[in-house]
Structure 1
Amino acid sequence: MKFKSTRGKTGSVSLSEAIRAGQAADGGLFMPEQLPVSDYGKADTSGGLAAFATHFLTPFFDSDPLADSLPEICAEAFDIAVPEIALAEDMSVLELFHGPTGAFKDFGARFLMACLDRLGDAAHPFTVLAATSGDTGGAVGCAAEGRLAARAVILYPDGRVSPFQAHQLSCWNAPVTTLKIAGDFDACQALVKAAFADPDLTRRYPLTSANSINIGRLLPQAAYIAFAAARHVANAGRKPGIIIPTGNLGHGVGALIARACGAPLGPVILATNANAALHDWAKTGTFQPRPSISTIANAMDVGAPSNFERLDAPSLSVGDLKVERVPDDAIRARIKTDYGRLGYIWCPHSACAAEAYARLSPAKRAEHDWLIAATAHPFKFAEIIEPIVGKAIESPATLSAVLERKANARQCDASPAALAAKLAELEKQPA
């Protein structure tokens, strides 16, 4: 299988080449030239997620240098529980936060770093740049720790993540470096894109991305969404719709890829916070990036979603795609209401999806069962949630272990020159 840029100004490349590059040379994002289609409504999910993901992803790895390693990559990346918990007759929560950093990003980060470690050279390792609005960086740092052929540089917006997230972003051992950027997430993302656009930096280090702009992050997301949909059909006999909190749109595109490949998914609903670029596009047909707005669902504070241009891929159908915009007051109200009504506690991001479900008309709800993607453990946002629900949130063992680590982040200005200087410092250190 070959992959091409969304902007169509470069030639096709293999999957390994696309993962190495992160972003295409013309500034676009890699997508498969043609998506493989199968009837996953009849797929066997009894062997678990890793086995299903291996089967689902095999066509994408066809004739690629990583093809023989795919089963062990999947075994390493998907060794995480993905429970579906029924909360109502027609609605279940898909808990995606049982990995080591308590967020759905663990799947994609572990998968990507496993690929890069097999593609890289310990004598001249990849430098993986990860701009993060909260959860990506922690997952990447955890997945990168101890690697030999890839090191991670995490960029997060100083003062715009929760206290737990700030600790989790900066507590990983070599070869991980964390930079506190004086700016918002869009500034972090712009620094990563500027670095990729600099041929000297890209050649010198070499650089690749761990954000969802990297196809190596999207494919595992598509795999677990396809698994969840197929499992639901096997257990309940009905094709589910899915509601996904989204910021940079990677998770949403992952769901669309899964559906286009034959996963038994009905409508896809994207739930955003107060940042309105996607919502306004869905209403008007015009995409207008804008500065990000700070919200309590901070991992979704994205004003210019990078994955938007992937929606133009001819193989993806966006006809049955809806976007709901959920401001902070509605997030708080949904957390309070559903805790009182259902006894379930949402993180602020998952609460956006729960609110989108609550806004569905009775007729729309009746058309499908609904899966709500719960993307982060609520403990990571205890300072927001505990006053709303009036109780302390217990920390899972994985997140308690994170707090026992020592945090160490370096300050960095939001300029390409400042980032280049930090990369030069890393070059003098052992990988």
Structure 2
Amino acid sequence: MKLENLKDLSDTVSFSQAVTKGLGKHQGLYFPTDIPKVDNIEAVLQMPFVERSIFLLQQLIGDELGEGVLDDIVQSAFNFSAPVTQVSDNIFTLELFHGPTLAFKDFGGRFMAQCLSRIAKNKPVTILTATSGDTGAAVAHAFHGIQNIDVVILFPKGKISPLQEKLFSTLGDNIHTVAVEGDFDSCQALVKKAFDDPEVRDDLHLNSANSINISRLLAQVCYYFEAVSQLSAKQREALVVSVPSGNFGNLTAGLIAKAMGLPVKRFIAATNSNDTVPRFLKTGKWDPKTTVATISNAMDVSQPNNWPRIEALIEKGYIDKDIVHGEAVDEQYTQMAMRQLAQAGYTSEPHAAVAYRVLSHSLEQGETGLFLGTAHPAKFRETVENVLGQPISLPRELAAVVGEDSLSVDLSASYDDLKAHMQQLLKDKK
């Protein structure tokens, strides 16, 4: 597999190099130079999930990792289900929260950890990543205990749910968590500065596990095929997929699946009040505003990192720009959507509710709708209980960490403070 840096097309790398480096020169994102078209989609959709995922990733990555290695990685990473559940006559949800940290990012996090542990071959690596909620837990659990790999996770202090934070701030060992005084965009900016600093990047053998890392992105392609495989042939004829969007890795993966031949009529980028992309799609003007805090906090992103990859898909002719629509949902309508789903007998958290709200108001006659359920509602227990006015129980994964103490360190949004903190971590390891 060959990938090119979208900011410097002369910077081309293999899959292994892209996984190891994370970002290219000038903070550029790596993207495939070619996306293969899959023949006989119907036969592919008949495959079991793991077998199909190995096949799809083989088409993308090729034999680079060695015979049987990709099979082992996928079998280890994708050891949980992604069921489709019907919520109304023509609307379904893809539940992506049945992994160990109850969020869709378990797919990408676990796949990346398995890839990197084999590619690095016991050489020291420091993973630096920013999270607006679910990435932190998925990455922390995926890499916890892996020898010679340290993980530093930045998150906006006080701006993610307490249970989200407990899932990744209580592990310790090779997992180091930092509560930053700022929003998610501040955390993301710190990550970018670290990658631009040779002293930190080279001394700490820096890598990132955000969706900027191509391994995470490719893993997510697989569950779009899994979703469609669970629908009938009739439902696939005019399928509309609504994706709750923050950093836009999830939507990028869906569009890659479409480029490979997955039958989807159109995609909806559903955002909360942080609506940079919906406004851009309507006006053609890229105008990020100050990030605002919402109850769908994992989508509180005003400058989504993955958007250049979507633009690349359009510019290269893999995707027609007319199949991508964007809509924003404010707090009032997010809560209304949660109540509507509850009345239909389905309990949802705010992010999926945003996607449902846009989807339910966008479907045309004869279309089937699918929205992505990206996190277990219990991860947002306080919000869900407040909105719905009824208690929800905690799954065992969350119940196990409720009483644990957070091991996070508080830092300002100053890069100098972060650099000193990370250099101290390196000294402490020696």
Q: Same fold (TM over 0.5)?
A: yes
Report the equivalent of 1:327: 330
Contact 2:94 2:371 in 1 (8 A): yes
Q: Which amino acid aligns with 2:84?
A: E
Provide the rounded CA distance (Å) in 1 between the counterparts of 2:233 and 2:145. 39
Contact 1:41 1:230 in 2 (8 A): no
Provide the rounded CA distance (Å) in 2 between the counterparts of 1:419 and 1:234. 52
Contact 2:82 2:95 in 1 (8 A): yes
Task: Note the C-alpha offset of 1:46.
Answer: 5.0
Report the equivalent of 1:358: 360
Report the equivalent of 1:204: 203
- Compared with structure 1, are the counterparts of its residues 229 and 328 closer, same or farther at alpha carbon in structure 2 (3 Å cutoff)? same
Contact 1:354 1:372 in 2 (8 A): yes
Overall identity of the aligned pairs, in %: 35
Shifted more, 128-137 versus 389-398: the winner is 389-398
Unaligned segments of structure 2, at least 5 residues:
none
Q: Which amino acid aligns with 1:5?
A: N
Provide the rounded CA distance (Å) in 1 between the counterparts of 2:78 and 2:317. 26
Question: Which of 343, 346, 351 is 1:344 aligned to?
Answer: 346
Task: Note the C-alpha offset of 1:108.
Answer: 0.5
Within-5 A mapping of 1:5-404: 5-39=5-39, 41-45=41-45, 47-65=47-65, 68-122=68-122, 124-233=123-232, 236=235, 238-313=237-312, 314-317=316-319, 318-340=321-343, 342-360=344-362, 364-403=363-402
Provide the rounded CA distance (Å) in 1 between the counterparts of 2:67 and 2:309. 24
Q: Which amino acid aligns with 2:11?
A: G
Shifted more, 10-19 versus 401-410: the winner is 401-410
Contact 1:113 1:150 in 2 (8 A): no
- Compared with structure 1, are the counterparts of its residues 66 and 427 closer, same or farther at alpha carbon in structure 2 (3 Å cutoff)? farther
Contact 1:134 1:156 in 2 (8 A): yes
TM-score (norm 2): 0.95
Q: SS where residue 164 of structure 2 aligns?
A: helix
Contact 1:133 1:301 in 2 (8 A): yes
Contact 1:111 1:220 in 2 (8 A): yes
Q: SS where residue 365 of structure 2 aligns?
A: helix
Contact 1:2 1:12 in 2 (8 A): yes
Provide the rounded CA distance (Å) in 2 between the counterparts of 1:190 and 1:394. 36
Contact 2:352 2:374 in 1 (8 A): yes
Q: Deviations over 1:251-309 (max 9, x none)?
A: 01010001001112221111100001011011111222232111010000001001111
- Compared with structure 1, are the counterparts of its residues 151 and 320 closer, same or farther at alpha carbon in structure 2 (3 Å cutoff)? same
Contact 2:84 2:94 in 1 (8 A): yes
Provide the rounded CA distance (Å) in 2 between the counterparts of 1:422 and 1:234. 54
Provide the rounded CA distance (Å) in 2 between the counterparts of 1:367 and 1:39. 26
Q: Which amino acid aligns with 2:353?
A: A
Q: Which amino acid aligns with 1:175?
A: N
Contact 2:11 2:24 in 1 (8 A): no
Q: SS where residue 306 of structure 1 aligns?
A: coil
Q: SS where residue 106 of structure 2 aligns?
A: helix
Q: SS where residue 227 of structure 1 aligns?
A: helix
Count of residues in correspondence between the two structures: 426
Shifted more, 233-242 versus 412-421: the winner is 233-242
Provide the rounded CA distance (Å) in 1 between the counterparts of 2:178 and 2:40. 42
Q: Deviations over 1:42-98 (max 9, x none)?
A: 134455322111000102222423564111111111111111111122111110011
Q: SS where residue 13 of structure 1 aligns?
A: strand
Provide the rounded CA distance (Å) in 2 between the counterparts of 1:320 and 1:148. 44
Task: Note the C-alpha offset of 1:323.
Answer: 0.8
Flag as ranges the 4+ runs of structure 1 deviating above 6 A. Answer: none
Task: Note the C-alpha offset of 1:404.
Answer: 5.1
- Compared with structure 1, are the counterparts of its residues 267 and 72 closer, same or farther at alpha carbon in structure 2 (3 Å cutoff)? same
Unaligned segments of structure 1, at least 5 residues:
none
Contact 2:228 2:236 in 1 (8 A): no
- Compared with structure 1, are the counterparts of its residues 102 and 95 closer, same or farther at alpha carbon in structure 2 (3 Å cutoff)? same
Provide the alpha-carbon RMSD of the alignment: 1.8
Task: Note the C-alpha offset of 1:405.
Answer: 4.1
- Compared with structure 1, are the counterparts of its residues 234 and 142 closer, same or farther at alpha carbon in structure 2 (3 Å cutoff)? farther
Task: Note the C-alpha offset of 1:315.
Answer: 4.5
Q: Deviations over 1:100-130 (max 9, x none)?
A: 11110111000111111111143x4211111
Contact 2:355 2:371 in 1 (8 A): yes
Task: Note the C-alpha offset of 1:169.
Answer: 2.8
Q: Which amino acid aligns with 2:265?
A: G
Task: Note the C-alpha offset of 1:231.
Answer: 3.4
Provide the rounded CA distance (Å) in 2 between the counterparts of 1:195 and 1:411. 18
Report the equivalent of 2:3: 3
Q: Deviations over 1:159-211 (max 9, x none)?
A: 11111112123012321100001111000000000111112211111111110
Contact 2:154 2:177 in 1 (8 A): yes
Task: Note the C-alpha offset of 1:366.
Answer: 2.6
Provide the rounded CA distance (Å) in 1 between the counterparts of 2:403 and 2:181. 26
Shifted more, 179-188 versus 226-235: the winner is 226-235
Q: SS where residue 333 of structure 1 aligns?
A: helix
Provide the rounded CA distance (Å) in 2 between the counterparts of 1:210 and 1:25. 17
Q: SS where residue 37 of structure 1 aligns?
A: coil
Q: Which amino acid aligns with 2:116?
A: L
Q: Which amino acid aligns with 1:359?
A: H
